[in-house]
Amino acid sequence: GDSVTQMEGPVTLSEEAFLTINCTYTATGYPSLFWYVQYPGEGLQLLLKATKADDKGSNKGFEATYRKETTSFHLEKGSVQVSDSAVYFCALSDQTQETSGSRLTFGEGTQLTVNP
């Protein structure tokens, strides 16, 4: 079945450092890929998405590129802020979210702490 593997956490960085959180996936079809973020005490929020190979999702300074050849969707940010401290989840859907069903398969989540 489908699966998502994220780099192990937690990750601790200083403000303005470069962030990479690795994500690789296994899927039988052509999945859509997502990054979700969970701030303390809140629900899962969509951070960015990509629906086909070589698409780049971006939001709030975060980027991730759908790499079919390496089955990866690594999350990057050039300069993190204290407010980026949260748990980040990589996920895939085996259909685009515009069609029915579309369960999400999540990675383990990576706790990011950014210190001032």
| Residue numbers at the binding site for another protein (CB under 8 A) | 36, 41-46, 89, 91, 97-98, 100-109
- Give the nearest distance from C-beta 1 to another protein in angstroms: 10
Minimum Å distance from CB 38 to another protein?
9
From the CB of 73, what's the least distance to another protein, in Å?
16
E strand residue ranges, 1-116: 3-6, 11-14, 19-21, 23-26, 32-38, 44-50, 56-59, 62-65, 75-77, 86-93, 104-106, 110-115
First to last CA, the chain: 41
